[in-house]
Chain A
Amino acid sequence: MNRSTIDLWVGILVAAGLGALLFLALKVGNLASFSSAQTYEVKANFANIGGLKVRAPVKSAGVVVGRVADIRFDTETYEAVVTLSLGAAYRFPRDTVAKILTSGLLGEQYIGLEAGGDSKMLANGDRIKLTQSAVVLENLISQFLFSKAAEGKDNSK
């Protein structure tokens, strides 16, 4: 086993290893999206964010237009303040609605934006005024039971 053969094989190993890493980064992961693109930030308040996590997608019409950058708790309004990082190419009107939705039955939660009709667009640092919180299962069940109980009461009258 002479020097040059060893060098050759080590070179092949390193090249293959780096190639595998590149393959993982590009074809398997989502390196291409939003790593170096220009973004701007807007904030939105929610009464309940449910299972929303940082780095969850922000979609409009089903297309990913941004990511959740930060989630904080406002101690004065007792609401969740979510910072959205949106791609610079996507401009939304000031009366856009932000809803927390679930993708699929067991899916992760994401923010869906429904564009409004305002002529003025959201700028960096603006706040989305219209929001809809996540659907919390317990509230749904208690609502359902309450309405069922009310129905029963009405019927028995």
Chain B
Amino acid sequence: MAGKALRGYFERLGNQVTSGVWQLGFAARFFGYMLLHSGTALRRFSLTIREIYFSGVLSLVIILVSGLFVGMVLGLQGYHTLERYGSSEALGVLVALSLVRELGPVVAGLLFASRAGSAITAEIGLMKATEQISAMEMMAVDPIARVVAPRFWGGVISMPLLAALFSATGIFGGYLVGVKLIGVDEGAFWSQMQAAVDVREDILNGVLKSVVFGIAVSWIAVFEGYDAAPTAEGVSRATTRTVVTSSLAILALDFVLTALMFTGGSAT
């Protein structure tokens, strides 16, 4: 009796793994097809601009407010930790490096996935459930070119902009708390930061990270929407999957990218 249950468990596990691999292959083919058919999204740029509005502009509020608060917390916590080693003047360095290298791309990516990624998935999934996608196909318009690709590129373009805004607002928040509130020396704050933050190593790498995250989140969001079961339940499950998968992907990619970018150099 237990043997049968155990066997059933392993069968289900194997089934999940194989269907997971199959999903991944399907998602990869979908990605390739979408890239090949991105011509429309780029030629009729107004479609993409509309999507930049819906994923980028409408995420501005959450990004800016979160950035400000994260920066302020960094300023507060950073000061109290650095103060113990008499290095409170390095606060600017701490805040800037944390944001530009890690928190900017990662937290902005997570927020983007929850707000814009889930919206994209829901939108595409609902279009599928109400047969709008089929209607488009029957009218000889490729839905992947017309509906999916603009949303993908809209996300990819918005992400780095939002991450940069997050980092900038965060640094400002750190400045507000550190210099204005607590009283760290303003000159030391900025000068040490400028000395320690390198444009190529830190800022460019941070931008690169946010581009990679943008591609990952947008890809997952459009794929889950397109692949959703055409029912209300199917759409809701797809939206949840987008947020969960995107978040895990961002954190995993962050580890890989950080290892490549920031520690690879010290091997010499």
**Are any A and B Cβ atoms less than 8 Å apart in their complex?**
yes
Segment touching A, from B22-30, B126-134, B144-152, B201-209:
B201-209
* Inter-chain contacts of A13 with B (CB < 8 A): 52-53, 56-57, 60, 158, 161
* Inter-chain contacts of A157 with B (CB < 8 A): none
Q: Select one of A10, A18, A27 contacting B49, CB under 8 A.
A: A10
**Whole-angstrom distance from the CB of B90 to the nearest CB of chain A?**
9
**Proximity bits, A18-52, B CB within 8 Å = 1, else 0:** 10110111011111000100000000000000000
Q: Can you sample 24 A-B contacts with CB below 8 Å?
A: A6-B49, A7-B49, A9-B57, A10-B53, A13-B53, A14-B161, A16-B60, A20-B161, A21-B203, A21-B207, A24-B100, A24-B171, A24-B203, A28-B96, A28-B193, A28-B194, A29-B197, A29-B198, A29-B202, A30-B197, A35-B199, A53-B265, A55-B201, A104-B87
Contact call B57/A10, Cβ cutoff below 8 A: yes
Contact call A28/B268, Cβ cutoff below 8 A: no
**Whole-angstrom distance from the CB of A102 to the nearest CB of chain B?**
14
Tell me the dominant secondary structure on chain A's binding face.
helix
Contact call A71/B268, Cβ cutoff below 8 A: yes
**Whole-angstrom distance from the CB of B210 to the nearest CB of chain A?**
10
Q: Select one of B160, B198, B203 contacting A55, CB under 8 A.
A: B198
Q: Which residues of B contact A (CB under 8 A)?
A: 46, 49-50, 52-53, 56-57, 60, 85, 87, 96, 100, 158, 160-162, 164-165, 167-169, 171, 190, 193-195, 197-199, 201-203, 207, 265-266, 268
Q: Which residues of A contact B (CB under 8 A)?
A: 3, 6-7, 9-10, 12-14, 16-18, 20-21, 23-25, 27-31, 35, 53-55, 71, 104, 106
- In the A-B complex, the 4 residue pairs with the smallest Cβ-Cβ separation, listed nearest first, are A17-B161, A20-B168, A20-B164, A29-B199
**Whole-angstrom distance from the CB of B260 to the nearest CB of chain A?**
16
Contact call B162/A17, Cβ cutoff below 8 A: yes
Contact call A29/B161, Cβ cutoff below 8 A: no
**Whole-angstrom distance from the CB of A49 to the nearest CB of chain B?**
11
Contact call A16/B96, Cβ cutoff below 8 A: no
* Inter-chain contacts of A104 with B (CB < 8 A): 87
Given A9-B53, A10-B53, A12-B57, CB of A17 within 8 Å of CB of B194: no
Cα distance A104–B199 in the bound complex, in angstroms: 23
* Inter-chain contacts of A27 with B (CB < 8 A): 190, 194
Tell me the dominant secondary structure on chain B's binding face.
helix
Contact call A25/B199, Cβ cutoff below 8 A: yes
Contact call A17/B57, Cβ cutoff below 8 A: no
Residue of B whose beta carbon sits closest to that of A70: B268
* Inter-chain contacts of B171 with A (CB < 8 A): 24, 28
Q: Select one of A7, A20, A35, A53 contacting B167, CB under 8 A.
A: A20
Contact call B194/A16, Cβ cutoff below 8 A: no
Cα distance A24–B92 in the bound complex, in angstroms: 13
* Inter-chain contacts of B164 with A (CB < 8 A): 17-18, 20-21, 24
**Whole-angstrom distance from the CB of A151 to the nearest CB of chain B?**
33
* Inter-chain contacts of B203 with A (CB < 8 A): 21, 24-25, 28-29
* Inter-chain contacts of A106 with B (CB < 8 A): 85, 87
Residue of A whose beta carbon sits closest to that of B172: A23
Cα distance A30–B265 in the bound complex, in angstroms: 19
Contact call A23/B53, Cβ cutoff below 8 A: no
